[in-house]
Every structure is written in structure tokens, then in C-alpha cells.
Chains A and B, each alone.
Chain A
Amino acid sequence: MFIKSTEIIDTFAEAFGMWGTRVIITAETPKWANAAARAMTGFATSVIGCKCEAGIERELLPEETPDGRAGVSVLLFAFSAKGIEARLVERIGQCVMTCPTTACYNGLPEATETVNVGGKLRYFGDGYQASKMLGNQRLWRIPVMEGEFLIDESFGVQPAVGGGNFLVLGENLKITLDAVEEAVEVMKIPNVILPFPDGVVRSGSKVGSKYKALPASTNDAYCPSLRGCAPKTDLPENVSCVLEIVIDGLNEAAVAESMRLGIQAAAREGVVQITAGNYGGNLGQYHLQLHKIMQGAS
């Protein structure tokens, strides 16, 4: 399959079943809501090294938030509900509660499973914390030096999809960077995040390493500088740069749609191929077939 002059390889992205949650952060101004969201989603690129993957889903208008203030929606993914709870307690406690004027709400109120976050962070209040019930929702008010930090006791969690991906193989750095930057811009749709720096990763990995302690190591088959010395290369001759975009989502359909939009945007003159990373289909439960995803696209 070709889109413009770019060949879309007939392969699949192998994605994994994960658990996901949505956190709504509000503040007096968009600046502080964004500051908290950026801090909370820092060092959350890969679940292997960071224990979770997280990113900003989108900014929220005041009329979209529970307290009528500007907000930011954050998605966070981990391998288990318990893992999400631990990460939320750490990250909200250190990055959101600390940020001036913020409040933090459960963004999945319909979820049937929940984890306890505000109910644990409340102890920071040293006995001065107070709870408020609003319908079935329990909020905790934790006194802080600037006023109060308000947080939901429980946050909804749900099964999710992590590790949707595609690789952009370009003739040179500029073309490849331009392609992925434009792709990232159109891939930011509801229910997905791109956890790597501005959505893009250059250090794609393979499973295992010659060093026993490492579970993953550089994807030498896609490193242009190893074309002549690695055991095998998957790079066409005219490719000198490969960049990857990884997508996590609250459901498979959202991940697939984000990939479709991204591949469509990245395809261009100078992008030789677009392919995807997989492990032979033996590890991940989701196989996102590139050709199937692109059906209907030009």
C-alpha cells in the first residue's frame, strides 16, 4: 500500500492490555493547570522505565470542569489498577498538590472500578483535612499554605491499550522530523496520549540485550548507523533516519484512529516507508494492522 510516495508496510503494531485513568486538573488560570499537568506527566514515557505512561490529553474549558475553572485532562496508564493507584498517589501528591491553586478530579466517573487516591493523600492534612460529599462523590479538602487542595477520593480505572505505534523511515533528519511533528499535531484526539517527548521517540527498542540485566535494548535493525554491522537491518538503502510515535489509549478504536490520522499526515515525499513495531505477535493482545487501519484513507 502506498500513500503518496510512502510505502505502508503490511505489518502490525503490537499493543498491550493496560489499565488507564483520566485525571482532571483545574486551577485559577490555565498557566497553573498546565504547570501541574506537565509536572505530573513528566518522566512517564515508558512503563518499563517509569512504572507508568502518562500525557496531557487536552486542555479543558471552564464549562467542562467540575469547578468552572480552566483545566487540563491527563491520561495515565500502568499494568494494573494497583499500579495506577500507586502512581497517582505519588504524582498527584508531588506534582499537583504542590502546584498553586490546583484541584484534582476523577475524569472517569462512570468507571466501575476505582482506586483510592484522595483518601490516601488526605493524611497530609494532619487531622485538619475535611471531606465533602456531593451526591455519591467524596471530595477531600487538604489545607495548604495557599488555601486548600481539593481532590476526589476515588478515581475510575478501566482496561486500556498501551503501545500502539508506527515508525517513520525518512531519507534524512529534516524530512522525518517534519513528518512526525505534523503527525503528532493531528493525532491528539480524545482518549489517547502520546507519552514520549512531544509525542516522538528516537530510541526504539527490541526485547532483550546482550547484557543480562537489561530487558530491552536499542532496536539495531532500525539504526542507520549500524546498517553494515548489525546482524540484520530492516532499513531500505535510502533511509537515514527513523522516528517512532507511540500511542496509548483508553480503547483500541481511539488508538487505531490516532494512528490512522498520524500515518496519513506523515506520508510524503522523502518518507520512504511507514512500518510498525511488533514482537511477532506473541506478547501483546492487540494487533493493529496498518493496512486495515488505513482502509478508506487516500
Chain B
Amino acid sequence: MKLTLHTQPEVPLEVEVLNSTQLADKTVEEVAALTVFHGNREQLLGDFFTVEGKVKDNQLELEGDLSRVKLIGLGMSEGTLKITGSVGAHLGAEMTGGEIVVSGDAGDWVGREMSGGRITIKGNAGHMVGSAVRGASMGIQGGEIIIYGNAKNELGNGMRRGLIAVGGNTGDFTGVNMKAGTIIVLGQLGQRSGAGMVRGTILSTNHAQLLPTFTYNTTYKPTFLKNILFYLRKLGLPIEDAHINGDYQRWSGDSIELNKGEVLLFVDD
């Protein structure tokens, strides 16, 4: 099934119904008649999207500038959602399985509190990728988020498990309050990365200014990184051989917490 945006919403459009699980077995007419929220007003999905075909093999395609469309793929549990264009906030929030691929950029809160599946953003992403909502302590609890471009602040806030990889730079407070899991940043980390982290790994292939509550341990070649970087390369993220085979500084922290987290910084010879 393919949905193409024909009318740009004037205010954010919330489309909680837009995932392959919810649309399975529905006709074009039934899908067009589903309720969405345009701001605080109820409208029909068909008021904004042209709907074609049926959901086949759990595959769904979206097309258009969806940067004002929120909650695409909410709670998705299986299937594939392919999006040509950019998307708004809360993409793949609370997702438990399946795969979402976005050809453009994504807004804030990509994969917030997800626990399975994979989200791939070919462009940039906003703030709070893989994070917990305000007031909650647990962010992403499983699954993978791959961002080819940059991401903004508080990526992986409260992250509990899973893998977030960023091809470019991240903003401030990357991995803040992280409980566990892995964040790979192939560009530059923002300020105060790992603040309040308990366990888990933050890696950067560039130098970073860390908080004084992080302690240098050693410079070595962590074997597990090779596995993760090969895995990401297989998924299509460009990984340089030097980053797979090179040395990394290991810093442990945050000592205001359990001090069992680590920041790994690539050492460029």
C-alpha cells in the first residue's frame, strides 16, 4: 500500500494509525476513512493522503514532505515502512519490531522508548533520538536506530538497551542518564556527553571534551567494537577500516553514578 501526501497540514498532523500492522487487511476506502488529528481537530486520513493498493507482505510506503506529520509507525511491531521524504516527530515511537526507512530527515523523538526493530534515517534527525519522554527514566530498551547524518541534543537519553549509530555529529548531552546500550557517533560528540550515565558505551571517532567525572583508563583495541562496526557496515553505514582496526581511549564514568559506563574515543595516529 502506498500513501502520498496531497495536502500539506497547516499544523502538526498526528497519524497514530500509520503503520503496516494497523493498516493490514484494510481496503483503500477504510484506510482513507481513518481518523487523524490535525492540531486538535479530528479529520480523515484521506483529507491529507492519497491511498493506493493494499498492504502486501506487511509493506507500507509513504511519500511526500511529511515533516509536519507526527507519530508515524507508532507502536509498530512487524513489517516494513518505507518513507520517501522527511518525517516529523515521534517516528517509530514505542516500536517493538519491523523496520522503518526514511530517505530524508526526521524530527525530534525518533524511536522514543522503542524496544525492538530498526529505524534508518538517511538524512539528519532532531533532538531526543531514542530517548525517554520527559518524566520517564527509560529511553530505548532495544532495537536499532541508524542515522546517516547528524542528530541533535540528548540522543539516547535514559537509554536502557539497543544500538544507536550516527554517521555525523551529535548535539549536547549525548547518552545523558544512559543505563546501558551502545551509541556510536562517527562524527563529533556535543558537550557533556555521558552525563549521569550508569552503564553502556558511547563511542566517537573524534576527540571529545569529557566531563571531569570521567576517568581515563587505557588505550586499546576493544574487540567487540569490530563486531559492531562490521555489523553497521553490513547495514550500509559507511565505516572506515581505520575505525575498525584502530586504537581507542577508554574513559569510565560517570562517577557521580555507578561509574560503569564508558566513552571510547578513537585515537588518530
- Does B82 sit within 8 A of A, measured CB to CB? no
Q: Assess whether A134 is in contact with B223, with CB atoms less than 8 Å apart.
A: no
Q: Assess whether B161 is in contact with A66, with CB atoms less than 8 Å apart.
A: no
Contacts of B230 in A (CB 8 A): 66-68
A139 touching B231 in the complex, CB below 8 Å, given contacts A132-B201, A133-B142: no
- Does A135 sit within 8 A of B, measured CB to CB? yes
A132 touching B224 in the complex, CB below 8 Å, given contacts A67-B230, A68-B230: yes
CB distance from B180 to the nearest CB of A (A): 8
Contacts of B199 in A (CB 8 A): 130
CB distance from B139 to the nearest CB of A (A): 15
> Of residues 215 to 256 in B, which have CB atoms within 8 Å of A's CB atoms?
220-224, 226-228, 230-231, 244
Mark each residue of chain B from 17 to 55: 1 if its CB lies under 8 Å from any CB of chain A, else 0: 000000000000000000000000000000000000000
CB distance from A61 to the nearest CB of B (A): 14
- Does A257 sit within 8 A of B, measured CB to CB? no
Q: How large is the interface on B (under 10, 10 to 19, 20 to 34, 35 or more residues)?
A: 20 to 34
Residue of A nearest to B232 (CB): A134
CB distance from A145 to the nearest CB of B (A): 11
- Does A148 sit within 8 A of B, measured CB to CB? yes
Q: Assess whether B223 is in contact with A148, with CB atoms less than 8 Å apart.
A: yes
Q: How far is the CA of A150 from the CA of B225 in the complex (A)?
A: 10
Q: Assess whether A132 is in contact with B220, with CB atoms less than 8 Å apart.
A: no
Q: How far is the CA of A133 from the CA of B230 in the complex (A)?
A: 14
- Does B260 sit within 8 A of A, measured CB to CB? yes
Q: How far is the CA of A141 from the CA of B225 in the complex (A)?
A: 11
CB distance from B119 to the nearest CB of A (A): 15
- Does B177 sit within 8 A of A, measured CB to CB? no
Considering only CB atoms and an 8 Å cut-off, how many residues of chain A contact the other chain?
A: 17
CB distance from B98 to the nearest CB of A (A): 14
Q: Assess whether A147 is in contact with B222, with CB atoms less than 8 Å apart.
A: yes
- Does B72 sit within 8 A of A, measured CB to CB? no
Q: B-side binding surface: helix, strand, loop or mixed?
A: mixed
Q: Assess whether A134 is in contact with B231, with CB atoms less than 8 Å apart.
A: yes
A133 touching B161 in the complex, CB below 8 Å, given contacts A147-B220, A147-B221, A147-B222: yes
Mark each residue of chain A from 59 to 73: 1 if its CB lies under 8 Å from any CB of chain B, else 0: 000000011110000
Contacts of A26 in B (CB 8 A): 223
- Does B162 sit within 8 A of A, measured CB to CB? yes
Q: Assess whether A132 is in contact with B244, with CB atoms less than 8 Å apart.
A: no
CB distance from B148 to the nearest CB of A (A): 20
Mark each residue of chain B from 160 to 200: 1 if its CB lies under 8 Å from any CB of chain A, else 0: 01110000000000000000011000000000000000010
CB distance from B59 to the nearest CB of A (A): 21
Q: Assess whether B162 is in contact with A66, with CB atoms less than 8 Å apart.
A: no
Contacts of B163 in A (CB 8 A): 133-134
Contacts of A261 in B (CB 8 A): none
- Does A245 sit within 8 A of B, measured CB to CB? no
Q: Assess whether B244 is in contact with A148, with CB atoms less than 8 Å apart.
A: no
Contacts of A67 in B (CB 8 A): 223, 226-227, 230
Contacts of B227 in A (CB 8 A): 66-67, 132, 134, 139, 150
Residue of B nearest to A128 (CB): B260
A150 touching B182 in the complex, CB below 8 Å, given contacts A133-B162, A135-B231: no
> Of residues 155 to 183 in A, which have CB atoms within 8 Å of B's CB atoms?
none
> Of residues 135 to 155 in A, which have CB atoms within 8 Å of B's CB atoms?
135, 139, 141, 147-148, 150
Q: Assess whether A69 is in contact with B201, with CB atoms less than 8 Å apart.
A: no
CB distance from A97 to the nearest CB of B (A): 12
Partner of A103 from B223, B244, B260 at Cβ < 8 Å: B223
A68 touching B222 in the complex, CB below 8 Å, given contacts A132-B182, A133-B161, A133-B163: no
Contacts of A103 in B (CB 8 A): 223
A150 touching B221 in the complex, CB below 8 Å, given contacts A67-B230, A134-B231: no
Q: How far is the CA of A100 from the CA of B210 in the complex (A)?
A: 31
Q: How far is the CA of A132 from the CA of B144 in the complex (A)?
A: 13
Q: How far is the CA of A136 from the CA of B220 in the complex (A)?
A: 27
Residue of A nearest to B142 (CB): A133
Contacts of B161 in A (CB 8 A): 133
Q: How far is the CA of A179 from the CA of B118 in the complex (A)?
A: 56
Q: Assess whether B260 is in contact with A148, with CB atoms less than 8 Å apart.
A: no
Contacts of A141 in B (CB 8 A): 222, 224
Contacts of A128 in B (CB 8 A): 260
A68 touching B226 in the complex, CB below 8 Å, given contacts A132-B201, A133-B142, A133-B162: yes
A-B contact pairs, 18 of them (CB 8 A): A67-B223, A67-B226, A67-B227, A67-B230, A68-B230, A68-B244, A69-B226, A128-B260, A130-B260, A132-B182, A132-B201, A132-B224, A132-B227, A133-B161, A134-B163, A148-B220, A148-B224, A150-B223
Binding site for B on A (CB under 8 A): 26, 66-69, 103, 128, 130, 132-135, 139, 141, 147-148, 150
Please give 7 more A-B residue pairs, beta carbons under 8 A apart, in addition to A67-B226, A147-B221, A148-B222. Answer: A66-B227, A68-B230, A134-B163, A147-B220, A148-B224, A150-B223, A150-B227
Which 3 pairs from chain A and chain B are nearest by CB?
Answer: A67-B226, A150-B223, A103-B223
